[in-house]
Amino acid sequence: MGICTGRTVIITGAARGLGRSYALAFAAEGANVVVNDIGTSLTGEGRDTSAADAVVAAIQAAGGRAIANHEDIADWDAAKRIVDATIAAFGGLDVVVNNAGIVRDRMFVSAAPEEWDATMHVHLRGHFCLSRHAVDYWRAQQKAGKAVDARIINTSSGAGLQGSIAQAAYSTAKGGIAALTLVQAAELGRYGITANALAPAARTRMTEGAFADKMAKVDTGFDKQDPDNIAPTVVWLGSAQSAHVTGCVFELEGGRITIETGWNLGPTVERDCRWRPREVGDAVNLLLAERPAPRRVWGS
């Protein structure tokens, strides 16, 4: 009996890469899986539903339960249809894994508003729409006197936590998702809902192009960049065992699990009077000398 037996999970962007690994791993641990994917290119263009259907076929062939869903997560009404279809198929919903995303790499000086808007639309609005409808369902369940033990698992990125050259829009969206997770965790615990986020590093369509050498498959030994390495932590976060964990951002790579410490207060100077402009520089220089060295922006 798996740790997610009887639980139902929606996974967005589940046709390939990390999402596919999550779907197969959840199913192997007994979950009912909704494989949501509209089958776009990396830049969010085109549609192909066959990849999502193939993941469902693989789960069913292994004895699991799954359905495919090809709705657009960033469409408010379509996101509700995803939740409704899940409940109709499996009788409920326990976990939402917001994994789908696109990338429009561009140096900031060349960035176009259309690319910026498209990136925000899929990542931020996509995370919002599906989770919002799921929360409506869980709140209604609680008001009806039913126990709720629900999970929102969001996807941030190292780019969102420390920035990445040529990825201003993507980094901004992913940083916003980390902040959204903190707010969800603070607000939704009263309803039996936890919210956590991932910053995964693994071999996907996105990373193979940007970090070809690092993401290359190895001939022998542990394949650190295999997306299947990320899935166990995600499945555990979706299980009943993780009910005490909320408001965390997990950086995951290979066999490494890290919990981010977030934006904590650093070195401080304070006095009981107003600073004069000419005095601020010396104070800031003192603080810069005392603070730990920050992680470098990716690509710098």
Beta bridge partners of 199: 251
Q: Is 239 known to be catalytic? A: no
Contacts of 128 (CB under 8 A, 6+ apart): 180
Catalytic residue of the set 21, 157, 164, 171: 157
Q: Is 174 known to be catalytic? A: yes
User: Under DSSP, is residue 294 helix (H, G, I), strand (E, B) or coil?
Assistant: coil
Cα atoms found within 13 Å of the Cα of residue 165, Cβ hemisphere only: 6
Assigned token pair, 291: 């603070």
Contact (CB, 8 A) for 248 and 17: no
Catalytic residue of the set 21, 170, 171, 239: 170
User: Under DSSP, is residue 9 helix (H, G, I), strand (E, B) or coil?
Assistant: strand
For tokens 């940083």, what's the residue?
A: 175
Catalytic residue of the set 80, 131, 156, 174: 174
Which of 103, 171, 196, 158 has the alpha carbon at shortest distance from 295? 158
> Taking the mean position of all CA atoms in its chain, how far away is CA 188?
17
- Evaluate the CA torsion angle 200, 38, 173, 80 in order and state its sign: negative
User: Under DSSP, is residue 276 helix (H, G, I), strand (E, B) or coil?
Assistant: coil
Which of 260, 273, 271, 269 has the alpha carbon at shortest distance from 291? 269
Contacts of 243 (CB under 8 A, 6+ apart): 149, 194
Q: How far apart are CA 64 and CA 265, in angstroms?
A: 47
Which of 87, 98, 204, 206 has the alpha carbon at shortest distance from 151? 98
User: Under DSSP, is residue 243 helix (H, G, I), strand (E, B) or coil?
Assistant: coil
- Active-site residues: which are they? 157, 170, 174
